[in-house]
Homo-oligomer: A and B are copies of this chain.
C-alpha cells in the first residue's frame, strides 16, 4: 500500500530486513556472554541509543518506493548513506504531475528564521501565487511535449527537453537505507527547520518506522527527537 504524501506523492515500502530483535541479536554478538545485565530487548535498545552505539541499528535495512517533487528530491539526495535508483528523464518521458501547495501551506518568508516560511498568505495573494504556479507548470509541460514530439520534425532529445521543467514536477525513486542512517535522516528532516514539504515525507516514514521497529522508534523519539542538548557553558 502506498502512503499518500502531498498532492501526488507517496511512500511505499518495498522490502525490509530485520526488526527490533535483529538489533539486539547484533548487539549481543558484540557483548558476547556479557549482556545479562541488560537482558530484555527494550532495555538493551534504549541503552544503545542513549550511548550512541549506532552500529547495531545499521543491521536493519528498509527499501522504499517514493514519488516526490524534484525540489524535495534535491534535499533528500544529500543523504549519502543510501542506495538510490531514480526514474531517468533521459530515457523516459516525465508525467504531467506538479506539486501545487495547498493554500494553508502558502506562506511568506519568515522574519525570524532566515531559511523558512512565516505567516500564511492571504486569500488574494495566495490565489495569485497559485495561478502563477499552475500556469507556468502547464505551459512548461506543454512546451516540453512540443519539443520532444516528432511530428513533421525530429524531436529534441529528452535529456535536453526536460531542462524546461520546473522543480515542482514529480520524479520517483527506489531508496534503501539502514535504520541508523534513517534515524539520522528523520532527525534532520522531521525537524522544524526542515522545509514543510520534505517534513511531510519524514513524518510518513516515521509512522512506518514506528510500526516496523516500535522499540527502537520509542528510544529514538525519547533520546533524539524529543531530547535536548546542553552545552558545557549551559550546564
Interface residue ranges, A against B (CB under 8 Å): 14-18, 22, 25-27, 29-35, 37, 50-52, 55-56, 58-59, 61, 63, 65, 69-71, 73-74, 77-78, 80-81, 83-88, 90-93, 99, 101, 105-110, 114-119, 121-122, 125, 129, 132-133, 136-137, 139-140, 143, 146-148, 150, 153-160, 162-168, 172-174, 176, 178, 188, 193, 195, 221-223, 225-235
Contacts and interface: CB of A to CB of B under 8 A. Distances in A.
A201 to B, nearest CB: 15
A128 B26 CA distance: 37
Given A80-B80, A83-B59, A90-B115, A106 B160 contact: yes
A33 B94 CA distance: 10
Chain copies in the assembled complex:
4
A70 B222 contact: no
A67 to B, nearest CB: 11
Given A140-B136, A163-B71, A230-B227, A52 B188 contact: yes
B50 A231 contact: yes
B165 A34 contact: no
A69 B157 contact: no
A132 B146 contact: yes
Contacts of A88: 30-32, 34, 115
A154 B125 contact: yes
Contact of A70 (B65, B106, B117, B167): B167
19 contacts: A26-B174, A30-B87, A32-B88, A34-B92, A50-B229, A55-B85, A59-B85, A59-B176, A73-B74, A83-B178, A99-B163, A101-B160, A118-B154, A132-B143, A133-B164, A163-B168, A222-B232, A223-B231, A229-B229
B157 A163 contact: no
Given A84-B55, A129-B147, A17 B231 contact: no
Contacts of A227: 229-232, 234-235
A29 B87 CA distance: 5
A84 B150 CA distance: 39
A37 B114 contact: yes
